[in-house]
């Protein structure tokens, strides 16, 4: 932790003063070398030298109790039950794009929660609230904003995007979908010029997401478009094109918590949380050190996997029903963040996020049903960008290789494999409007 804050105003002043001192003493050095941000983007691990955590060690049902201090309790339960085992890999320091780090330093202390409800005033880029501590009464919503504005490239696409529906009990593969996806950031850009924002943004968007189903034939050309507004209080906008109806349909708020295309994933689950921050009560529960599925893709043993575009190999899934990503895990500092819906009609009682502190990626998610019982476990497999495809070298961050959403009550899962890449050509606005949905659906 960088600071222990007594109040919101003291937090802003303290970090602003520290950043000024660091900047004055770091002339000629990169922002990545600034001591004030070193602990933020590369936390020191207390237990990093434990002999139990050496690379190559395997955690299974026979020795899981030795590793329980470093395992999420639900993950430990699944290992103890024999659903899967995990292997430890080498510790890696994951990069963050230097422009994002520089923006964090430049604008430290500026973002303001005390404006309009649900708004973040004076945010210009970078991590909105570095130096989080649970003693700050606003730490929960600050962590939510850090997660929303975590670093990711501004223009990415996923041409190789495979969804598989699996019966966890029998291991049967029930359905396979092949998709295309793209994300464009309109504002708070760091990786792609123009920075910090696109000039043409009449709808005042933060970002837009587009998905299209390429197969199977019965749902081919089904498309989803999501607009995330700059103002969190603005109504959510999402549209679905169904090939069976040949028309664009606006998605009502309640439909975002339905199973998407019959999978175990809700639209609201996308990217960890695809909803308005104002619609949840956020609580930062604390931080500790846990094992997470974070690794170097090119260092995994993928010789048995099929080669796809550009020599890329998907990571495999293993364990019960082939529902668990078969990657190496490493020790990371994490934050525990709880989100409770403000609407009593919401189908969930809460989500518990386990967020990698360095990147603010929600790597593990526990989802609880309306009755408060554990329902699903979400797992995201993250690769270091330097050990991915050659074209992603400029990414400078974490790359999602795979996702698994496991319905522990129904013993069912949906797994996602993806080869996400920096957009080969600049993404165009036309891809992210409803007329494009109609055009592609013809």
> What are the angstrom distances between the C-alpha of 434 and each of 232, 239, 260?
21, 7, 19
Residue 246: pLDDT band with limits 50, 70, 90 = confident
Residue 49: pLDDT band with limits 50, 70, 90 = very high
Q: Which residue has the higher pLDDT, 439 or 283?
A: 283
Q: Please determine, for residue 33, whether its predicted confidence score (pLDDT) is greater than 70.
A: no
Q: Please determine, for residue 279, whether its predicted confidence score (pLDDT) is greater than 60.
A: yes
Q: How far apart are CA 78 and CA 366, in angstroms?
A: 13
pTM score: 0.91
Q: Please determine, for residue 235, whether its predicted confidence score (pLDDT) is greater than 90.
A: no
Q: What percent of the chain has pLDDT over 90?
A: 81
Instruction: Point out the least confidently predicted range of 14-23, 67-76, 194-203, 427-436.
Output: 14-23
Q: Kindly state the average pLDDT of the residues 377-387.
A: 97
Q: Please determine, for residue 28, whether its predicted confidence score (pLDDT) is greater than 90.
A: no
Q: Please determine, for residue 416, whether its predicted confidence score (pLDDT) is greater than 90.
A: yes
What six digits make up the tokens of 351?
Answer: 């989500």
Q: Please determine, for residue 319, whether its predicted confidence score (pLDDT) is greater than 80.
A: yes
Q: Are 5 and 11 in contact (CB under 8 A)?
A: yes
Residue 16: pLDDT band with limits 50, 70, 90 = very low
Q: What percent of the chain has pLDDT over 70?
A: 91
Q: How far apart are CA 412 and CA 323, in angstroms?
A: 8
Give the CA-trace dihedral at 338, 341, 346, 350, to 10 degrees.
10
pLDDT at 5: 31
Residue 36: pLDDT band with limits 50, 70, 90 = low
Q: Are 44 and 130 in contact (CB under 8 A)?
A: no
What six digits make up the tokens of 195?
Answer: 């920075």
pLDDT at 245: 79
Tell me: the pLDDT tens digits for 161-201? Answer: 999 999 999 999 999 999 999 999 999 999 999 999 999 99
- Name the burial class of residue 357, with classes exposed (0-12), middle (13-18) and buried (19+) by CB atoms within 10 angstroms of its CB: buried
pLDDT at 34: 58
Q: Please determine, for residue 47, whether its predicted confidence score (pLDDT) is greater than 50.
A: yes
Tell me: the pLDDT tens digits for 59-107? Answer: 999 999 999 999 999 999 999 999 999 999 999 999 999 999 999 999 9
pLDDT at 211: 97
Residue 311: pLDDT band with limits 50, 70, 90 = confident
Average pLDDT, the chain: 90
Q: How far apart are CA 197 and CA 187, in angstroms?
A: 4
Tell me: the pLDDT tens digits for 325-379? Answer: 999 999 999 999 999 999 999 999 999 999 999 999 999 999 999 999 999 999 9
pLDDT at 30: 40
Among the listed residues 159, 215, 131, 192, the one whose alpha carbon sits nearest the alpha carbon of residue 395: 192
Residue 421: pLDDT band with limits 50, 70, 90 = very high
Residue 10: pLDDT band with limits 50, 70, 90 = very low
Q: What is the DSSP letter of 266?
A: B
pLDDT at 118: 72
Q: Kindly state the average pLDDT of the residues 119-124.
A: 92
């Amino acid at each position: 932790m960088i600071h222990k804050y007594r109040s919101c105003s003291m937090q802003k002043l303290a970090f602003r003063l520290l950043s000024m001192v660091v900047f004055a003493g770091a002339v000629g050095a990169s922002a990545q070398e600034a001591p004030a941000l070193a602990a933020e983007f590369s936390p020191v691990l207390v237990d990093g030298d434990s002999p139990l955590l050496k690379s190559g060690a395997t955690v299974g049902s026979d020795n899981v109790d030795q590793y329980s201090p470093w395992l999420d309790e639900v993950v430990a339960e699944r290992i103890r039950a024999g659903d899967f085992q995990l292997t430890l890999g080498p510790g890696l320091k994951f990069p963050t794009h230097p422009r994002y780090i520089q923006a964090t330093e430049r604008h430290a202390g500026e973002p303001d929660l005390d404006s309009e409800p649900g708004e973040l005033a004076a945010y210009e880029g970078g991590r909105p609230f570095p130096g989080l501590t649970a003693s700050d009464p606003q730490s929960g919503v600050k962590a939510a904003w850090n997660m929303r504005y975590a670093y990711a490239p501004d223009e990415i696409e996923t041409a190789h995007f495979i969804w598989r529906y699996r019966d966890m009990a029998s291991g049967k593969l029930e359905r396979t979908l092949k998709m295309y996806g793209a994300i464009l950031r309109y504002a708070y850009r760091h990786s792609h010029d123009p920075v910090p924002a696109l000039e043409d943004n009449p709808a005042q968007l933060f970002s837009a997401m587009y998905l299209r189903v390429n197969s199977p034939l019965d749902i081919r050309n089904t498309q989803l478009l999501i607009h995330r507004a700059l103002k969190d209080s603005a109504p959510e906008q999402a549209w679905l094109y169904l090939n069976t109806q040949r028309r664009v349909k606006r998605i009502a708020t309640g439909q975002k918590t339905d199973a998407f295309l019959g999978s175990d994933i809700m639209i609201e689950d996308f990217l960890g949380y695809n909803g308005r921050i104002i619609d949840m009560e956020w609580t930062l529960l604390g931080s500790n050190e846990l094992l997470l599925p974070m690794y170097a893709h090119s260092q995994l043993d993928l010789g048995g996997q099929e080669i796809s575009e550009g020599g890329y190999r998907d990571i495999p899934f293993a364990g019960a029903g082939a529902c668990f990503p078969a990657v190496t895990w490493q020790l990371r500092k994490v934050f525990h963040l709880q989100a409770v819906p403000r609407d009593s009609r919401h189908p969930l009682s809460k989500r518990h996020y386990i967020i990698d502190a360095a990147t603010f990626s929600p790597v593990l998610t526990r989802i609880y049903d309306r009755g408060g019982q554990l329902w699903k476990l979400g797992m995201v497999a993250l690769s270091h960008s330097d050990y991915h495809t050659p074209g992603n070298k400029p990414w400078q961050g974490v790359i999602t290789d795979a996702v698994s959403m496991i319905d522990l009550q129904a013993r069912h899962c949906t797994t996602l494999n993806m080869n996400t890449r920096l957009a080969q050509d600049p993404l165009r606005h036309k891809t992210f409007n409803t007329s494009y949905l109609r055009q592609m659906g013809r």
